Amino acid sequence: MDLQLRAGASGHVTAGIVALDGRSAMLISADSPRRRGALAPADSETIVAGLHTALAKRLPVVLMLSSSGADANYGVAALHGWGEAARVLVRCSGVVPILAGVTGQAISGIALLIGLSDIVVMSEDAYAFVSGPVPVREMTGVAIGPDELGGASIHASASGTASAVTPAGEVLDVLTEMLGYLPSHCDELPPLIETSDPRDRPTPEAGDLLPSQPTGAYDVRDIIAELIDDGCFVELRAAWAPNLVTGFASMGGYAVGVLANQPMSIAGTLDIAASQKGARFVNFCDAFGLPLITLVDTPGFYPGKDLEWRGMIRHGAQLAFAYARATVPRVAVVLRKSYGGAYIVMDSKTMGNDVYLAWPSAELAVMGASQAAQILRRGADEGEVAEYVSDYEDTYLNPYVAAERGYVDNVIDPAVTRRELIDTLDMLATKRERLCHRRHDNSPL
């Protein structure tokens, strides 16, 4: 630790400035084995001091957490300390990146800090929850163990809290790798990533990955790997909402955030979890200046009574809100389908997208041909329906009508997609938008 600011009264909480792969960062470690891992008020004061220093010096925050939270022996004073830590962490949000690693238990107040972090990496044996197995059993009558209640696999797949899960001992290494794509603070440009991958490398394999059948599935991560530098993609929240892929990469040396519909999972449709996942990622990239590359292949929002009752409208609006608010360079490529409301929210020109590209295989329409026939030719004979479907496909299910109307900037060959994206990033490198002064907006949380 290059500079240790202070250590907590227990000696189990430290805060100091360290070098992570050549980058200065504020490392705050809360690892308390005593009293079953509970921390004293002085320990939370150490965390607060570290966060204040990170904010003042504009340093990324890296939290290494393993504690049961507030020590009950100190009463409300312990709660006050964790509340103060949460408040200062919120002040850091959007100013410096906040990365958290969970290496053991994270309960109560510590769990709250995880929820406020931008990126969370958990070791395979870690667990986190606000209320543990005992209160769950007493309040609900359900007997459950800590791993089933809040283990790393649960937070990776069910809650979406964990951005990644890694073997014990590798948490800090993974956090350091992710930090390599981020600036130290919001007023600094993202770092340039060294690469020997040619900027004009042809990518015909990307187009070849699309199935011949319009309903065929494929792994969009294979297309991402073809387009980015050296095929190196750091995926976030891979197991949660797998119908939307998000992660960091570089293109021509530019650090970028990548979002893509995943046809391998529920045909790439958007549901509540995917909307939340995408909105959170877009907000994060926008806060720290990472250009957004969006790969579109979705037939729309996933239909269902349960989703509508749980607020599909409100949560779907989160993704639209995030894109419409984002001021970083934004480039989208329609690979295959882009239908209905999902067309709008996946960074369309309507949302303020900078450059909207499409492959010749792209289909931009309100809905698919068979769906349109069911609505507009209801009751017609089979011959008339078949003719309508054929006309609809010829007229609407291609990118050229949208291009004529200015909704698509260019229809490109898949083989030149990488070059087009990098040239566009060059063009948008000096993009700056001045926002009107306001306290904050009102996102549909």
CB atoms under 10 Å from CB of 344, counted, come to 17
**Given 3.30.70.100, 3.40.50.300, 3.30.450.20, 3.90.226.10, which CATH number is that of 204-362+398-428?**
3.90.226.10
Q: Could you tell me how far CA 423 lies from the centroid of its own chain? A: 25
Q: Are 276 and 318 in contact (CB under 8 A)?
A: yes
The tokens 């189990």 sit on which residue? Answer: 12
Give the domain 3-179 fold: 2-enoyl-CoA Hydratase; Chain A, domain 1 (3.90.226)
* CATH 3.90.226.10 domain extents, the chain: 3-179, 204-362+398-428
Distance (Å, whole) CA 407 – CA 355? 10
Q: Could you tell me how far CA 111 lies from the centroid of its own chain? A: 20
What tokens appear for 64 in the block? Answer: 């290494």
Q: What is the pLDDT of residues 10-25, one digit of tens each?
A: 557 899 999 999 999 9
Question: Is the CA virtual torsion 180, 184, 186, 191 positive or negative?
Answer: negative
Per-residue pLDDT in tens (0 to 9) along the chain, 445 residues: 555 555 544 557 899 999 999 999 999 998 755 444 556 677 888 999 999 999 999 999 999 998 766 555 555 666 777 788 899 999 999 999 999 999 999 888 788 899 999 999 999 999 999 888 888 899 999 999 999 999 999 999 999 999 999 998 999 999 999 999 999 999 999 999 999 999 999 999 999 999 988 889 999 999 999 999 999 999 999 999 999 999 999 999 999 999 999 999 999 999 999 999 999 999 999 999 999 999 999 999 999 999 999 999 999 999 999 999 999 999 999 999 998 889 999 999 999 999 999 999 998 887 776 776 676 677 677 677 677 777 777 777 789 988 988 999 999 999 999 999 999 999 999 988 877 766 677 777 7
Among residues 16, 12, 47, the alpha carbon closest in space to that of 33 is found at 12
Among residues 245, 252, 317, 255, the alpha carbon closest in space to that of 281 is found at 245
Position 145, amino acid? G
Distance (Å, whole) CA 442 – CA 7? 39
Position 403, amino acid? A
The tokens 């696999």 sit on which residue? Answer: 153
- pLDDT at position 69 is 61
Helix (H) or strand (E) holding 171: helix 171-179
Residue 138 burial (C-beta neighbours within 10 Å; 0-12, 13-18, 19+): exposed
β pairing state of 330-339 and 292-298? parallel
Helix (H) or strand (E) holding 115: helix 109-115
Distance (Å, whole) CA 253 – CA 117? 27
Distance (Å, whole) CA 43 – CA 46? 5
240: which residues sit within 8 A by CB, 6+ positions away? 156, 157, 158, 159, 160, 162, 273, 277
SS3 437: coil
Percentage of the chain with pLDDT > 70? 88
Among residues 219, 291, 206, 300, the alpha carbon closest in space to that of 251 is found at 291
Q: How far is CA 418 from CA 116, 233, 251, 282, 414, in A?
A: 35, 15, 8, 21, 8
Distance (Å, whole) CA 127 – CA 114? 11
Q: How far is CA 383 from CA 166, 391, 397, in A?
A: 57, 12, 20
Q: Are 127 and 106 in contact (CB under 8 A)?
A: yes
- pLDDT at position 34 is 44
- pLDDT at position 213 is 86
